[in-house]
Amino acid sequence: MRLSNVDPALESCWQVVCRSNDLTSQPTAYALLGRHWVLWRTPSGTVAAFLDQCPHRLAPLSRGTCDHAGIIQCGYHGWRFDITGICVEIPALGPDAHLPGRAQLTAPHGVAESHGLVFLAIRPPSTPLPTVAVASDPTFQRGDLPVVTTSGAAGLFADNFLDVAHFPFVHAATFGAGEERTVPSYTLERDGYCFTASYEHLFANREDPGVDAGLRPLMQRRALTYRYTAPFHMELEITYLDAGGTNVIGFFIAPADADTVRVYSTLWRNDLGGSLEAMEQAVAFEVAVLDEDLAVQCSYRERSLPLDLTMELHTKADRTTVELRRILRDLIDGR
């Protein structure tokens, strides 16, 4: 069994579709799970989301416009729909026409916003709406990486982010050269369709100015905590035990179609003193790290994640990625 980007089971999950600040009062199209959706922000500030096709001739509604009341007008024949998806006007029939009851837009089961992202659940979700605790903490600065649209499998991208053994090899040019190759023992606790995994290790802290000042050694301790929410929402909290401070990396994957994903990644840091320049440098560094991962992920020929544990060889260093496969398998099986 393998999980593809368009597996029907993924419709019963909260899926990230875009960033909150990407939406305006005018319609925008986003691909998700092999279908196209049109989204816009209503005058009240909420998000309207519907399948991106007019029921008349199935033309993309995203080619239309919205008025000051949030009513969307199809750009093909001018049919107008309110923010609940009900047709309120068909110009060709005149002002007093009886409007067909079927003249309605197709909505997902739910739309929600959390930590600066917009989520859709096409069907009633069996997974919880993801959250990031530090997103509401005013002591943390936020820095968004550019959105990446690339070929690949969402499951494999999640596997890569949760993997703790590839750092010295894939990321040798950024941070991995000083990483220990042996993966330390770590704890892992599962809660339904989520898990948390934690461990501590030594690393070369080249960002710490205290190293050059002779206040601290290059090799320092840090604690890493991974948080995962099915299907493709990941968070890594890095706490610098010697230098102080916390760096949280959010990694959120939208499976657009069978061969394409969008990657949304965000940093939250409380160790930069509010410096915008320092955050820009931190974001640029994470972009370089992501580029290293992309080089591996884009080389996969099979755009799916194996869920049958006998299809691959696993070791005790792979506990996080094995648990990922178990959770996704349970999700497909409805357990």
Mean of pLDDT over the chain: 93
Domains for the chain: give ranges and CATH numbers: 2-121 (2.102.10.10), 133-333 (3.90.380.10)
> Could you report the per-residue pLDDT of 45-68, keeping only the tens digit for each?
999 999 999 999 999 999 999 999
Q: What angle is formed at CA 322 by the lines to CA 321 and CA 327, rounded to 5 degrees?
A: 95
The token pair that represents 192 in the structure block: 């339904």
- Residue 219's pLDDT is what? 79
Checking if the pLDDT of 295 tops 80, the result is: yes
> Could you report the per-residue pLDDT of 220-261, keeping only the tens digit for each?
888 999 999 999 999 999 998 887 889 999 999 999 999 999
State the Cα–Cα distance between residues 198 and 301, nearest whole angstrom: 32
Among the listed residues 29, 32, 24, 26, the one whose alpha carbon sits nearest the alpha carbon of residue 6 = 32
SS3 97: coil
> Could you report the per-residue pLDDT of 3-34, keeping only the tens digit for each?
999 999 999 999 999 999 999 999 999 999 99
pLDDT category at 178 given cuts 50, 70, 90 is low
Among the listed residues 44, 60, 158, 37, the one whose alpha carbon sits nearest the alpha carbon of residue 109 = 37
Amino acid at 256: A
Dihedral angle sign, alpha carbons of residues 176, 178, 180, 183: negative
- Residue 164's pLDDT is what? 87
Reported in sequence order, the residue ranges of the chain that DSSP labels E, i.e. its strands, are 2-4, 15-19, 28-32, 35-41, 47-51, 65-66, 72-73, 80-81, 87-89, 110-114, 117-121, 141-144, 148-151, 187-191, 194-204, 219-229, 233-240, 246-257, 260-269, 304-306
Beta strands 141-144 and 260-269, pairing class: antiparallel
